[in-house]
Amino acid sequence: MAIGITALGAYAPDRVLTNAELERMLDTTDEWIVSRTGIRERHISADDEFASTMGVRAVHDLVRRVPNALEGVDLVVCATSSPDALFPSTAALVAGEVGLAGVGAFDLSCACSGFVYACASAQGFIAGGIAKKVLVIGAETLSKIVDWSDRGSCILFGDGAGAAILEEVPEGYGFRSVVLGADSAGGPSLYMRAVADRIPGVERMSDKTGMNGREVFKFAVRVLGDSGQQALDKAGLTSGQVDWLIPHQANSRIIDAARQRFGIPEEKVVVNVERYGNTSTASIPLALCEALDDGRIRDGDELLLVAFGGGLSWSASCLRWYTPKQEGLA
């Protein structure tokens, strides 16, 4: 059975926060931010926008592109690090708003690796016969949880959402490999507090997020290369056969280091971090949608998705893109 993505949608809030505005809020400069991250602006959710409301708007965009996309959906999986609530799940909240009340729905939490993790979960449910068609969502309102006094971290993050339909596709298309990993030993380098006030390696957590940028950078460069190569090996592909590298949009220097490790030319990498910042679980679907809309990704293209996140976690997947002949996605 081949399983792939047959519809995509995305949403980013209207409010754009530029580096120039951050210069007035923090002891930082546009030059400092751009040189270290590649980020020039990010989208910020309104007071009444949350992961669920943005997820709903991403689904609406998906339906705009493929009107019958939600027909037959029997499971909703939402990857998020900033859920509206611990329960009800953000997935259930979105399902109720888009006409899918009553189908199975749950949230998945592994930070920025979450969209690929959620796609892997959907594949398992479909291959196991538990579901036939799964709505996968990545939605984040990170601006509501970051410490806006911490100039080392708040400059990185933005808000957004993406949605995808996973179902059976013709043989030869779809996901060809999946690699998932996590190592809590790296947890002290990147975490977000919830109920506990300590985790192994951290005597007392900060009130919101904690990040060791230097350690995360080193980890990200290594794990993107390692997991991406493992995904290629499992799919029987070489980096030279990759049409598009779709990395998690965290930092342009991390993306470039990973690209160089694969030997993939710049023109084959989808990068939009300068306009969105790090949107965590939303970053890969946002990048995919953008590349579909401008015609870069075409039917049959070989994609390599790679991501890393807090926890520390990582994920990678090879996907041969399928464009349903009767609909089209862009």
Query: Which residue bears the tokens 């949403």?
Result: 11
For helices 252-262 and 213-235, angle between their N-to-C axes, nearest 10 degrees: 40
Q: Which residues pair with residue 44 across a beta bridge?
A: 15
- Asked if 127 contacts 96 with a C-beta cutoff of 8 angstroms, the reply is no
Say which of 78, 154, 278, 289 is annotated catalytic. Answer: 278
Residue 170 Cα to chain centre, angstroms: 25
Say which of 43, 78, 110, 112 is annotated catalytic. Answer: 112
Question: What are the residues whose beta carbons fall under 8 Å from the beta carbon of 12, sequence distance 6 or more?
Answer: 43, 158, 159, 160, 161, 276, 279, 286
DSSP summary character for residue 325? T
- Asked if 268 contacts 296 with a C-beta cutoff of 8 angstroms, the reply is no
60 is catalytic: no
63, two tokens: 């339906």
Say which of 248, 251, 289, 318 is annotated catalytic. Answer: 248
278 is catalytic: yes
112 is catalytic: yes
Query: Which residue bears the tokens 């060809």?
Result: 176
Active-site positions read: 112, 248, 278
